[in-house]
Amino acid sequence: MCRLSLAMIVKNEEKHLARCLDSVRGIVDEIIVVDTGSTDKTKELAMSYGAAVYDFEWVNDFSAARNFSIKKSTGDWNLFLDADEYITNDCRDTIRQFIKNNRAIGRITCIDYFYDGDELQKRISHISRLAPKSVFFKGKVHEQLCSDLPRINVNVEVSHDGYLKEGKSDRNLPILLSELQSDPKNPYILYQIARTLFVSKKYAEADRYFRAFYDCAPILANYRYTGIVSYLYNIIALKKFEEGLQIIANEKDRLSELPDFHFVCGIFYMELVLSDVGKYIKYLPLIEQEYLRCLEIGETDVFDSVVGTGSFCAAYNLGAYYEVSGNIPKALYYYDMSQKWGYEKAAQRLAVLNRTVR
Per-residue pLDDT tens over the stretch 278-290: 999 999 999 999 9
What are the structural domains of the chain?
4-164 (3.90.550.10)
Spatial distance between the Cα atoms of 188 and 141, rounded to a whole number of angstroms = 11
**CB-based burial of residue 227 (10 Å sphere; 0-12 exposed, 13-18 middle, 19+ buried)?**
buried
> Is the per-residue pLDDT at 167 higher than 70?
no
> Is the per-residue pLDDT at 358 higher than 70?
no
pLDDT of residue 168: 63
Using one digit for the tens of pLDDT, what is the confidence trace for 320-329? 999 999 999 9
Helices (H), 239-282: 241-251, 259-275, 277-280
DSSP 30: E
Using one digit for the tens of pLDDT, what is the confidence trace for 215-260? 999 999 989 999 999 999 999 999 999 999 999 999 999 999 999 9
Confidence of residue 35 (pLDDT cuts 50, 70, 90): very high
% of the chain at pLDDT higher than 70: 97
Confidence of residue 118 (pLDDT cuts 50, 70, 90): confident
CA 349 → CA 118, 328, 355, 356, distances in Å? 17, 12, 10, 11
> Is the per-residue pLDDT at 113 higher than 90?
yes
Q: Are strands 77-80 and 4-10 parallel, antiparallel or unpaired?
A: parallel
Spatial distance between the Cα atoms of 310 and 258, rounded to a whole number of angstroms = 9
**CB-based burial of residue 148 (10 Å sphere; 0-12 exposed, 13-18 middle, 19+ buried)?**
exposed
Using one digit for the tens of pLDDT, what is the confidence trace for 302-349? 899 999 999 999 999 999 999 999 999 999 999 999 999 999 999 999
Spatial CB neighbours of 212, under 8 Å, sequence gap ≥ 6: 185, 190
Mean pLDDT of 63-76: 98
Neighbours of 41 (CB within 10 A): 13
> Is the per-residue pLDDT at 170 higher than 90?
no
Spatial distance between the Cα atoms of 294 and 104, rounded to a whole number of angstroms = 33
pLDDT of residue 133: 95
Q: Identify the CA nearest to 61 among candidates 162, 168, 178.
A: 178
